[in-house]
Structure 1
Amino acid sequence: AEIFGDLKLMEKEATGLERIKQKVSEHGLPTPKIEVGEKTFKITLYNRKKDPQKLLNSPYRTLRDTTGLNERQAKFLQGLQQQKNKSVNRGEYMQLFNLHEKTATRDLNDLVNRGLMQKKGVKKGTRYTYNIMSVNVR
């Protein structure tokens, strides 16, 4: 193991499993189940659905401000939360509400600034994705 560690192909100290346990705990998630076999190991990671309140204490969550959203933004977020595909581009948003380009851009940038959406891509390839790691603040 030492030679692989020197080559930066693996750790010398075998601290990976402990770091995994530490990180999931920091995120407020349940401790993973670790099963070690003769030549394999299996790690089961649990999501926050088991205890959603623990997510509130995670230092990695983002507080998002939903006060003062305009009617379009509120309606858009409600619909987006119920869809499988939780992203949109500016053209789709414009078409949805019959908006001018500047108004759509202003609405979407406001949602990004509030932590409700994440902006990915550039220019015409930009998509706005619903930010699931956030908590409403009213």
Structure 2
Amino acid sequence: MGIRFVLMVNKQGQTRLAQYYEYLTLEERRALEGEIVRKCLARNEHKCSFVEHRNYKIVYRRYASLFFLVGVDDGENELAILEFIHLLVETMDRHFGNVVHFMLEEMVVNGCIVETSKANILTPVQLLDKTS
């Protein structure tokens, strides 16, 4: 099958994004995420980015304060998954990095907060998305 799940977790261990490609109940997901996050975050940066857990191979990589963890089948190529994680991060950064700067520009002008309405901030972003 290949990739079983993708997680994005902050350095406090809170899941910020979870996408599963196999059925697991919410209870099973929470338990699995807790186990994997504790295991990966406890490792230092000098250790390899591959961990075996249950019937998964976990490939993970840290970018700033976020960890990207991908659970794969045992036969999956770890280096290819590391490349996939890097591609995912670069793509998200390119898209959302621009969006974040755009939203900030809508909210702050010359160091002063000029807009606090979420609707007013997001309207130009949504229009920008429609033109893309």
TM-score of the alignment, normalized to the shorter chain, above 0.5: no
Q: TM-score, normalized by length of structure 1? A: 0.23
Which of the pair has more CA radius of gyration?
A: 1
Q: TM-score, normalized by length of structure 2? A: 0.23
Larger strand share, 1 or 2: 2
